[in-house]
Chains A and B, each alone.
Chain A
Amino acid sequence: MMDPIFPPKDSMYHRLNPLCMMLWSLSVVVAALVFDNPVYLTLLFTATVLVAIYAKVFRGWMSYMKYCIWLCMLIMLLNPFFSHHGTHILYVFPFNVPLIGRPEISLEAIAYGAGMSLRLLTIMSAFASLLYTVNPDDLLDSLTRFRLFPKSTYVTSLAFRFMPALIRDSDTLTEVQESRGIRLNSGNMIQRVKARIPVIFPLLSNSLDRAVQVSEAMESRAFGCNSKRTFYKNPAIGGLEYTILFLSVLTVLAAACIRYVGFGSYNYYPSLEPITFTFEEIPYIIVFTILVFSIIPLAQINSRGLR
Chain B
Amino acid sequence: MKKSYIILCLVSVLGLFSFLIPVFLPDSVFDPSSSAFSWGLFVSTVMFLGVAAFLLEFERSNVGSKEIGFIAVLGAVSAALRVPFAVVPGMQPSTFLIICSGYVFGPVAGFMVGALTALLSNIFLGMGPWTLYQVFAWGFIGFVSGFVNLNRRWKLVLTGFFGGYLFGGIMNLWFWSAFIYPLNLNTFLAVNVNSFWFDSLHAVGNGVFLWVFGPKTIKIFKRYRNRFHIEQI
Contact of A265 among B35, B186, B209 (CB under 8 A): B35
Contact of A151 among B59, B76, B179, B213 (CB under 8 A): B59
Contact of A100 among B55, B179, B187 (CB under 8 A): B187
Question: What is the chain A residue whose CB lies nearest that of B84?
Answer: A170
A192 to B90, CA, bound (A): 13
Q: Which of B119, B120, B204 has the most CB of A within 10 A?
A: B120
- Kindly specify which of B1-9, B65-73, B151-159 makes contact with the partner chain: B65-73
With A116-B178, A207-B76, A267-B35 in contact, do A127 and B41 touch (Cβ < 8 Å)?
Answer: no
- Kindly specify which of B22-30, B122-130, B140-148, B161-169 makes contact with the partner chain: B122-130
Contact of A159 among B56, B116, B190 (CB under 8 A): B116
Collect the chain A residues with CB atoms within 8 Å of residue B120's CB: 156, 159-160, 163
A154 to B83, CA, bound (A): 22
CB distance B84 to A163 under 8 Å? no
CB distance B212 to A163 under 8 Å? no
Collect the chain B residues with CB atoms within 8 Å of residue A193's CB: 91, 208-209, 212-213
Whether a CB of chain A sits under 8 angstroms from the CB of B205 is yes
Collect the chain A residues with CB atoms within 8 Å of residue B84's CB: 170
With A116-B178, A267-B35 in contact, do A163 and B129 touch (Cβ < 8 Å)?
Answer: no
Collect the chain A residues with CB atoms within 8 Å of residue B44's CB: 33
Collect the chain B residues with CB atoms within 8 Å of residue A207's CB: 73-74, 76-77
Shortest Cβ distance from A128 into chain B, in angstroms? 8
Question: What is the chain A residue whose CB lies nearest that of B224?
Answer: A208
CB distance B212 to A159 under 8 Å? no
Question: What is the chain B residue whose CB lies nearest that of A259?
Answer: B38
Question: What is the chain A residue whose CB lies nearest that of B186?
Answer: A99
Collect the chain A residues with CB atoms within 8 Å of residue B66's CB: 211-212, 215
CB distance B194 to A170 under 8 Å? no
CB distance A75 to B181 under 8 Å? no
CB distance B180 to A151 under 8 Å? no
Whether a CB of chain A sits under 8 angstroms from the CB of B196 is no
Besides A120-B129, A151-B59, A193-B212, 14 more A-B contacts (Cβ < 8 Å) are: A33-B38, A150-B59, A151-B58, A156-B72, A159-B73, A159-B120, A162-B73, A193-B213, A201-B216, A201-B217, A204-B220, A211-B72, A218-B68, A267-B35
Q: Render B189-204 as a binary contact track against A, CB cut-off 8 A, 1 for contact.
A: 1110110000000001
Question: What is the chain A residue whose CB lies nearest that of B73?
Answer: A211
Collect the chain A residues with CB atoms within 8 Å of residue B220's CB: 201, 204-205, 208
Contact of A82 among B93, B116, B180 (CB under 8 A): B180
With A160-B120, A162-B72 in contact, do A223 and B189 touch (Cβ < 8 Å)?
Answer: no
CB distance B73 to A210 under 8 Å? yes
Collect the chain B residues with CB atoms within 8 Å of residue A298's CB: none
Whether a CB of chain B sits under 8 angstroms from the CB of A175 is no
Interface size for chain A: under 10, 10 to 19, 20 to 34, or 35 or more residues? 35 or more
Collect the chain A residues with CB atoms within 8 Å of residue B125's CB: 67
CB distance A82 to B71 under 8 Å? no
Whether a CB of chain B sits under 8 angstroms from the CB of A68 is yes
With A120-B129, A197-B212, A204-B77 in contact, do A268 and B124 touch (Cβ < 8 Å)?
Answer: no
Collect the chain B residues with CB atoms within 8 Å of residue A176's CB: none
CB distance A75 to B179 under 8 Å? yes
CB distance A5 to B41 under 8 Å? no
Shortest Cβ distance from B141 into chain A, in angstroms? 18
Q: Render A124-161 as a binary contact track against B, CB cut-off 8 A, 1 for contact.
A: 10011001000010000000000001111011101110
Question: What is the chain A residue whose CB lies nearest that of B97?
Answer: A204
With A99-B193, A269-B181 in contact, do A218 and B41 touch (Cβ < 8 Å)?
Answer: no
With A152-B112, A259-B38 in contact, do A203 and B180 touch (Cβ < 8 Å)?
Answer: no
Interface residues of B in 19-59 (CB under 8 A from A): 33, 35-36, 38, 40-41, 44, 52, 55-56, 58-59
Whether a CB of chain A sits under 8 angstroms from the CB of B63 is yes
Q: Render A63-98 as a binary contact track against B, CB cut-off 8 A, 1 for contact.
A: 010011000000100110111010000000000000
With A99-B193, A224-B65 in contact, do A30 and B180 touch (Cβ < 8 Å)?
Answer: no
Whether a CB of chain B sits under 8 angstroms from the CB of A112 is yes
Whether a CB of chain A sits under 8 angstroms from the CB of B80 is yes
Contact of B68 among A116, A158, A204, A268 (CB under 8 A): A158
